[in-house]
């Protein structure tokens, strides 16, 4: 026992590499004495029987615990893999681990995080191992609603983590994929530019879904600039920020000011507005159109 009161340097490094996670089997590899192992384990945070953490478990700690429970073939998949790849901005409360074990494995979790272990063969990459970007998108579609799927796929394309053609290839290799038609449409629109995806969703979720008159698109109202949506008859412009990030505020302000001098009102919306509050956006556009003389009854196209 003398000189073995603290975990070995190798065990400390292993825990650091696994976001603080250690398993009892790993403790056994570094210490033969059951008494010492139990003393070490007593100083750790228990995550599940045989699974411990050197600190309060983080979201990444739960990923590692799931991977270790799944064994050498396990990988993080779905929305959790999308977050690890960086094209999903919020860590999901449910972490999916795919594994090739011959029998079902018990789920685990705590502190608002659930780890589901699913039987299935998936290739892994990275640390902790996770599915490819394209496979992550397809699996994510099975876990998330249509809007979240569109946002994730579009962001992955916009940030250069994949391409529309690679997503379509992955779709061809799998028979059953939730939101397949939507993903195909995203790829079609994104091949024209990421802004095109937002324009399509604006048309479907805001204008058509709420019976608003359709605008003329990409019209030059002010010199050296084109506006996304123009209701010329009603002096209304709607500009869409399809960059999934910060816009060039000065450029937009200058364009808005010049349009205002010509009598146009400009409304601006981004990804969150179109996908999370389309009814509110539609109500604002309706109000602006009616204030400019639209009777609210005939959804005709602007000139």
Task: Using the predicted structure, report yes or no on whether residue 125 has a pLDDT greater than 50.
Answer: yes
Q: Give me the half-sphere count of Cα atoms (radius 13 Å) on the Cβ side of residue 73.
A: 12
pLDDT at residue 302, rounded to an integer: 43
| Exposure of 248 in the CB half-sphere (CA atoms within 13 A) | 6
Instruction: For 14-42, write each residue's pLDDT tens digit.
Output: 999 999 999 999 999 988 888 888 888 88
pLDDT band of 101, cuts 50, 70, 90: confident
Instruction: Tell me the average pLDDT across 225-246.
Output: 79
**Alpha carbons 178 and 281: distance in angstroms, whole number:** 28
Residue 5 pLDDT = 62
The Cα–Cα gap between 262 and 99 comes to: 62
Confidence of residue 247 (pLDDT cuts 50, 70, 90): very low
143-164 in b/e burial notation, b at 16+ Cβ within 10 A?
bbeebbbbbbbbbbbbeebbbb
- CATH superfamily, domain at 197-291: VSR Endonuclease (3.40.960.10)
pLDDT at position 241 is 82
% the chain with pLDDT above 70: 87
Task: Read off the pLDDT band of 249 (50, 70, 90).
Answer: very low
The model's pTM is 0.82
Q: Say yes or no to pLDDT of 303 above 60.
A: no
The residues of the chain that CATH labels 3.40.960.10 are 197-291
């Amino acid at each position: 026992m003398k000189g073995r009161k603290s975990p070995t340097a190798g065990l400390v490094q292993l825990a650091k590499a696994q976001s603080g996670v250690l398993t009892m089997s790993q403790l056994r590899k570094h210490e033969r004495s059951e008494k010492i192992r139990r003393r070490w384990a007593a100083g750790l945070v228990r995550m599940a029987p045989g699974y411990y953490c050197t600190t309060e478990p983080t979201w990444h700690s739960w990923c590692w615990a799931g991977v270790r429970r799944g064994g050498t073939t396990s990988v993080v998949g779905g929305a959790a893999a999308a977050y690890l790849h960086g094209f999903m901005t919020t860590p999901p409360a449910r972490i999916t681990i795919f594994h090739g074990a011959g029998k079902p494995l018990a789920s685990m979790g705590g502190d608002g995080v659930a780890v589901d272990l699913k039987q299935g063969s998936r290739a892994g990459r990275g640390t902790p191992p996770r599915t490819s970007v394209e496979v992550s998108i397809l699996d994510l579609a099975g876990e998330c609603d249509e809007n979240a799927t569109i946002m994730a796929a579009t962001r992955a394309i916009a940030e250069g983590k994949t391409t529309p053609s690679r997503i379509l290839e992955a779709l061809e290799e799998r028979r059953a994929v939730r939101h397949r038609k939507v993903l195909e449409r995203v790829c079609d629109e994104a091949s024209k530019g990421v802004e095109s995806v937002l324009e399509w969703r604006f048309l479907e979720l805001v204008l058509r879904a709420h019976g608003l008159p359709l605008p003329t698109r990409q019209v030059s109202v002010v010199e050296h600039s084109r506006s996304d949506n123009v209701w010329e008859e009603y002096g209304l412009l709607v500009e869409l920020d399809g960059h999934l990030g910060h816009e060039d505020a000065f450029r937009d302000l200058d364009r808005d000011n010049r349009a205002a001098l010509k009598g146009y009102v400009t409304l601006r919306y981004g990804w969150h507005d179109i996908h999370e509050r389309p009814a509110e956006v539609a109500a604002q556009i309706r109000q602006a159109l009616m204030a400019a003389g639209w009777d609210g009854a005939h959804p005709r196209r602007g000139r």
